[in-house]
Amino acid sequence: MNYYTWLVFWNYKGKTFVSGVYAQRSKGRKKPESVSDLFNTTSCIPKPYRCPHRQIQFFLYTRRTQENPELLDTTDVDSLYNSQFNRAYPTKIVIHGFGGGRMYSPSTDMRDAYFYRGNYNIIIVDYGTLVKEPCLKQMEWAPRFCAKCIAQLIHYLTHHPRGVRADDLHLIGYSVGAHIGGLVSNYLDPVRHGKLGRITGLDPTIVFYMGQNASRDLDASDAHFVDILHTGAGILGQWGPNGHADFYINGGSSQPGCASDTVFKTLACDHTKVTPYFIESIVTRKGFWAYPCPTLVSFMLGWCNPEDNQYVLMGEHVNRESRGIYYVKTNPDPPYAQGAPAHIKRRALQILKRMT
């Protein structure tokens, strides 16, 4: 395999982590030579098109099974009984983006960060064969199919004696995975399953999702709390706002440290940089402190004057009562979090202390 790679190194309490974004190029795969090649759908998703599907798999990771994840079978009640799933721990369902998989970043780095912090049930949705070239045409229906199968997983969890309600679940989706997280809600019954507790959208893709059909886009109706992090907004990511709380990082469209020799690499970096920001938010002791501002122009010119009580944490530890549009600045290199401004440091320390 060859990879285009950019890595992020970060340190927490003396331990160094590495996160990054990998774009996989497989040996032996014929590169598309025309538009029709890109939209070829043969051999992408084998029939039958029903859930469960053998190429949409759910891998459970816990602190005990980090190296040997357990494959959950939603048709077998014993599958959860025989696993290390613990309903007392927070449950995260991670949905990767185009070209991703459970063995690629950001899925790997995200679960490492969570396990460094504590005990969690991390379920990685591995559906890599549904979102890869040369299968772009199926992007019109594959995300809905994947969402339907994830909804079956949630049905399994909500009705299992050792499971949890949808209200207690946190779905985290990157790029097209963010929209898949939102689509899951279309297949859930509020009475039988409950409503999804939280969906975090990491720069939801604009490709194939232009906001013309709310049922296909992640929005605030999909969960009790929907928070969106924007880094490539209006280019590869949606501009929004989409959620209860939308965070426009460094303005939302262009990220420091992403300048490259080609436009494509720069735009791809802007879009993917959302993942190391979120991963750092899981463990940072400084925090990404965001605030409202009248306009994007005001933010870029530094003309924002938020009240002390208007600052909120962005990322994993966001206050679920947060509402509206927020802006946040980062460092160009890791660690990205700049911490709280001097005038709210005492309040910020109290909030951060409650998280530890």
Query: Tens digits of per-residue pLDDT, 155-194?
Result: 999 999 999 999 999 999 998 899 999 999 999 999 889 9
Q: Which residue has the higher pLDDT, 351 or 131?
A: 351
Q: How confident is the model at residue 137 (pLDDT cuts 50, 70, 90)?
A: low
Is residue 276's pLDDT more than 90? Answer: yes
Is residue 231's pLDDT more than 80? Answer: yes
Q: How confident is the model at residue 46 (pLDDT cuts 50, 70, 90)?
A: confident
Average pLDDT over residues 83-97: 95
Q: Is the CB of residue 241 less than 8 Å from the CB of residue 206?
A: no
**Quick check: helix, strand or coil at residue 328?**
strand
Q: What is the CATH number of domain 2-355?
A: 3.40.50.1820
pLDDT above 90 covers a percentage of the chain that reads 58
Output the pLDDT for position 312: 96
Task: Using alpha carbons, list the distances in angstroms from residue 146 to 99, 115, 141, 190.
Answer: 14, 26, 9, 20
Distance CA 280, CA 268 (A): 19
- Which amino acid appears at position 18 of this protein? V
Average pLDDT over residues 6-27: 39
Is residue 14's pLDDT more than 80? Answer: no
Average pLDDT over residues 140-145: 77
β 312-314/288-290 pair status = antiparallel
Output the pLDDT for position 215: 61
Q: Which residue has the higher pLDDT, 218 or 345?
A: 218
Is residue 2's pLDDT more than 70? Answer: no
Is residue 12's pLDDT more than 70? Answer: no
Q: Is the CB of residue 90 less than 8 Å from the CB of residue 115?
A: no
Q: What are the residues whose beta carbons fall under 8 Å from the beta carbon of 131, sequence distance 6 or more?
A: 97, 98, 99, 100, 139, 142, 143, 176
Is residue 28's pLDDT more than 80? Answer: no
Q: Which residue has the higher pLDDT, 324 or 12?
A: 324
Q: What is the mean pLDDT of the chain?
A: 83
Output the pLDDT for position 24: 35
Output the pLDDT for position 145: 86
Is residue 32's pLDDT more than 50? Answer: no
Q: What are the residues whose beta carbons fall under 8 Å from the beta carbon of 166, sequence distance 6 or more?
A: 154, 157, 158, 188, 193, 194, 195, 196, 197
Is residue 246's pLDDT more than 50? Answer: yes
The pTM of this model reads 0.86
| 233 φ, ψ (degrees, to nearest 5) | -60, 135
Q: Which residue has the higher pLDDT, 223 or 97?
A: 223
pLDDT above 70 covers a percentage of the chain that reads 80
